[in-house]
Chains A and B, each alone.
Chain A
Amino acid sequence: MSQYNSHLTTEQMSAFLDQQLSAQEQSTSQAHLNTCELCQQQLAELQQTVLLLHALPRASLPRSFVLPVESMIQSEGVAGEEDATLKIARQAHNRILVLPSYVRTTMRIASTLVAVLGLFFILSGLLAMVSGTSHVSTSLEISTKARVANSSSDTHQPQPLAGAAVAPSSNTSQPQLFAGGAAAPSPNVHQSPLPSGRAANTQNLGLSPNTSQLQPPMSPITPFFDLGTPEGHLSIGLLLLIAGIVSVTLFTRLGKQGQQEQSQ
Chain B
Amino acid sequence: MDKLARDNEEKLIARSQQGDISAFNQLVLCHQQVVYNTVFRILGDYDTAADVTQEAFISAFRAIHTYRGKSLFRTWLLRISTNLACDHWRRVQRHPSESLEAIADEEESHTSPLIEALAQTGPDSNPEENLLTQELQQLIQRGLQELSLDQRTVIVLCDIEGLSYEEIAQTTQTTLGTVRSRLSRARARLRLYLSQHKELLPRPYRPSSRTDTN
Cβ A46 vs Cβ B25 within 8 A: no
B210 CB-CB contact with A under 8 Å = yes
* Residue B181 CB within 8 A of the other chain: yes
With A14-B183, A89-B21 as given contacts, are A65 and B191 in contact (CB-CB < 8 Å)?
no
Interface residue B196 (Cβ < 8 Å from any Cβ of A): no
Q: Does B205 have its Cβ within 8 Å of any Cβ on chain A?
A: yes
- B37 interface hit (Cβ, 8 Å): yes
The answer to whether A66 has its CB under 8 Å from any CB of chain B is: yes
Closest CB-CB distance, B34 to chain A, in whole Å? Answer: 9
Q: How far is the CA of A127 from the CA of B74 in the complex (A)?
A: 72
A59 CA / B129 CA spacing, docked (Å): 12
Q: Which residues of B contact A92 (CB under 8 A)?
A: 22
In the complex, residue of chain B having the shortest beta-carbon distance to the beta carbon of A76? B62
For the complex, give the distance between the alpha carbons of A15 and B37 in Å.
24
Evaluate contact between A14 and B188: CB separation under 8 angstroms: yes
If over half of A's interface residues share one DSSP class (helix, strand or loop), that class is named, otherwise mixed; here it is helix
Contact code string B40-68 (vs A, CB < 8 Å = 1, else 0): 11000011011001100110011000000
Chain A residues near B58: list those with CB within 8 A: 67, 72
Which residue numbers of B lie inside 8 Å of A, CB to CB? Answer: 19-22, 24-25, 28-29, 32-33, 35-37, 40-41, 46-47, 49-50, 53-54, 57-58, 61-62, 116-118, 120-121, 125-126, 128-132, 136-137, 140, 155, 158-160, 162, 165, 180-181, 183-185, 187-188, 190-191, 194-195, 201, 204-208, 210-211
Contact across chains for A57 and B137 when beta carbons are under 8 A apart:
yes
> Interface 1/0s, chain A 32-57, versus B by CB < 8 A?
00000000010011101111111111
Are A61 and B180 in touch, CB under 8 angstroms? no
- Once the chains bind, are B22 and A88 in contact (CB under 8 Å)? yes
Contacting pair A50 B54 (CB below 8 A): no
CB nearest to B160 among chain A residues: A53
Say if the beta carbon of A60 comes within 8 Å of chain B.
Answer: yes
> Which residues on the B side are within 8 Å of A49 (C-beta)?
187, 190-191, 194, 207
| Cβ contact within 8 Å between A60 and B116 | yes
Known contacts: A52-B140, A53-B159, A59-B117. The answer to whether A65 contacts B180 by CB under 8 A is no
CA gap between A96 and B85 in the complex, in Å: 27
23 interchain pairs (CB within 8 A)? A20-B180, A45-B207, A49-B190, A49-B194, A51-B205, A53-B160, A54-B160, A56-B137, A57-B118, A58-B121, A59-B37, A62-B47, A64-B28, A64-B32, A65-B54, A67-B21, A67-B61, A69-B21, A72-B21, A85-B19, A85-B22, A89-B20, A93-B21
Please measure, in the bound complex, the distance between the C-alpha atom of A61 and the C-alpha atom of B47, giving whole angstroms. 10
**Top 9 A-B pairs, shortest CB-CB distance:** A14-B184, A89-B22, A53-B159, A11-B184, A45-B207, A60-B120, A82-B19, A49-B191, A57-B129
Taken together as a complex, chains A and B put the C-alpha atoms of A86 and B21 apart, in Å, by: 6
Q: Report A-chain residues with C-beta under 8 Å of the C-beta of B184.
A: 9-15
List A contacts of B136 (CB < 8 A): 52
Chain B neighbourhood of A52, CB < 8 A: 132, 136, 140, 194, 201, 205
CA–CA, A63 and B47, complex, Å: 11
Min CB gap B63→A, angstroms:
12
State which of A48, A63, A79, A88 has its C-beta within 8 Å of the C-beta of B207.
A48
A78 at the interface (CB under 8 A from B): yes
Q: How far is the CA of A51 from the CA of B61 in the complex (A)?
A: 35
Interface code A205-249, partner B: CB below 8 Å = 1, 0 otherwise? 000000000000000000000000000000000000000000000
**B155 and chain A: residue at smallest CB distance:** A53
Complex contacts, A54 vs chain B, CB 8 Å = 159-160, 162
Q: Are B185 and A10 in contact (CB under 8 A)?
A: yes
